[in-house]
Amino acid sequence: MYNFEYFTPTKVVFGRGTESKVGQLVAEQNCKKVLIHYGKGSVIRSGLLDRVKKSLDEYQVDYIELGGAVPNPRLSLVYEGIELCRKEGVDFVLAVGGGSAIDSGKAIGYGVANEGDVWDFYCKKRQAKGCLPIGVVLTLSATGSEMSNSSVITREEDWNKRGYNCDYGRPKFAIMNPELTMTLPDYQTACGCTDIMMHTMERYFTNGGNMEITDSIAEALLRTVLANAKILMKEPDNYDARAEVMWAGSLAHNGLTGCGNDGGDFASHALEHEIGGMFDVAHGAGLAAIWGSWARYVYQDCLPRFKRYALNVMGVKEEGTDEEIALKGIEAMEDFYREIRMPVTIRELGIEPTDDQLKEMAHKCAAACNNKKGSAKILKEEDMLAIYRMAL
Ligand code: NZQ
Ligand code: ZN
């Protein structure tokens, strides 16, 4: 068991109609001017943006807005947001949307609160000394960005997709109304469930110790998302299933399921970020496409965890050797992905990378982590390439 720090400063306001409290929550922050930041328009079409503005108006909160955050949010919009906030004297960012709007909002917050190029933080050149306070109205259960210390941004110049983890960026509050996720296309719901599970699996498949309580929470969370993802494929308007998934999404990535371990593996995420950066695929789908190959590549180095996962999460019977049980668990997970219509290969993402592109992705992935990633098995560039080739 490792020592750990657990820091979750985000106030969660959860349930039906909670977006009407946004004015009050922002007013409590004592800010002068708010940037409402959102994506490509789902919040306009659903009427949510109007409801948010109405609530801000009720509390006489001054605001401006900037939409346009796309999946795999771009650095150019972050620069635009920073300039706008400086010009307008913005001192609070309210992200309304999914992980992309939130991450883009966090990046704007870092840019305004620090001198110099905000990309420096994402390419690990230096550390931020602060961030504008962030608030969230969540519309997609997936990334956990509403409580996490992460922000992931893509630089168009070289299609580098890089994450920055820093506690200054943890949102002050997150409004989570599961009903807001009912307008999602099924594909995004499935991508979200995949991402949620992966945030906990990344922490679960480790050789770096753990605590029984953490493992038990992780397994319960994974079983809950497995069951409710299947319900949502048939009943997208099922409130309880939406709520289970939404809360699981926050707990999966706010640090809770990593307490006591070595920080987790996160190789699947690193491998996906290169696919997302180069081919602009949905993050959750990219994870599903790579995971089975990663798991088969590493499971012998982390056999007790893979066996435990098979038995306690996937419901595999305890028959045969540990290896056989572990492999059945991996197969069962891939069957689950198929059931929720997620890809299990890179080609099933609808892309056809050449071998040179796979090499480029492996090279960039290795460069981003000093050629050492993982805990279940430590991967180097040649391992990353082997996994990409297996996953093709
Ligand atoms: O842009 P709009 O029009 O809002 O449409 C979005 C987008 O097309 C749509 N959408 C969102 N809520 C909706 C909705 N459509 C209908 N009804 C709603 N209620 O869904 C699409 C995807 O949205 P996006 O925000 O991109 O998805 P997600 O939340 O999965 O975020 C993905 C990004 O987050 C990063 C990913 O790499 C990716 O860039 N991640 C961030 C993390 C973090 N900050 O902690 C951790 C993750 O591992 C991940 O890397
Ligand atoms: Zn993720």
Alpha carbon of residue 148 to chain centroid: 9
Bridge partner residues of 175 (DSSP)? 13, 137
pLDDT interval class at 295 (50, 70, 90)? very high
| Domain at 11-180, CATH from 3.40.50.1100, 3.40.50.1970, 3.40.50.10470, 3.30.70.360 | 3.40.50.1970
CATH architecture of 185-391: Up-down Bundle (1.20)
Domain ranges of the chain: 11-180, 185-391
Q: Which two tokens stand for residue 18?
A: 């909670």
In this predicted structure, what is the pLDDT of residue 84?
A: 98
pLDDT interval class at 44 (50, 70, 90)? very high
Q: For ligand 1, what atom is nearest to the CA of residue 183?
A: 17
Report which DSSP code applies to 316. Answer: -
pLDDT interval class at 244 (50, 70, 90)? very high
Sign of the Cα torsion 382, 310, 185, 196 reads: negative
pLDDT at 187 over 90: yes
Q: Which two tokens stand for residue 239?
A: 């409130």
Q: Encode pLDDT of 116-172 as tens digits.
A: 999 999 999 999 999 999 999 999 999 999 999 999 999 999 999 999 999 999 999
CA of 191 to the centre of ligand 2 (A): 10
CA of 79 to the centre of ligand 1 (A): 19
User: 122 by DSSP, 3-state: which?
Assistant: helix
Contact status, residue 315 vs residue 332, Cβ threshold 8 Å: yes
**What value, to the nearest 5°, has the Cα angle with vertex 32 and ends 28 and 35?**
95
Q: For ligand 1, what atom is nearest to the CA of residue 73?
A: 39
- Residue nearest (by alpha carbon) to ligand 1 atom 42: 143
Element spanning 88, H or E? helix 75-88
In this predicted structure, what is the pLDDT of residue 126?
A: 97
**Cα-atom radius of gyration of the chain, to the nearest Å?**
20
**Residue 118 half-sphere exposure toward CB, CA atoms < 13 A:** 32
- Residue nearest (by alpha carbon) to ligand 1 atom 7: 71
Helix axis angle, 381-391 to 355-368, nearest 10° = 140
Report which DSSP code applies to 30. Answer: T
Residues 182 and 38: their CA atoms lie apart, in Å, by 18
Q: Encode pLDDT of 206-219 as tens digits.
A: 998 789 999 999 99
User: 176 by DSSP, 3-state: which?
Assistant: strand
Bridge partner residues of 11 (DSSP)? 173
CA of 97 to the centre of ligand 1 (A): 7
In this predicted structure, what is the pLDDT of residue 210?
A: 80
Tell me what the mean pLDDT of segment 311-325 comes to. Answer: 98
Contact status, residue 329 vs residue 316, Cβ threshold 8 Å: yes
Measured from the Cβ of residue 364, the count of other Cβ atoms closer than 10 Å reads 21
**Which amino acid, one-letter code, is at 12?**
V
pLDDT at 262 over 90: no
Q: Encode pLDDT of 110-131 as tens digits.
A: 999 999 999 999 999 999 999 9
Q: For ligand 1, what atom is nearest to the CA of residue 72?
A: 39
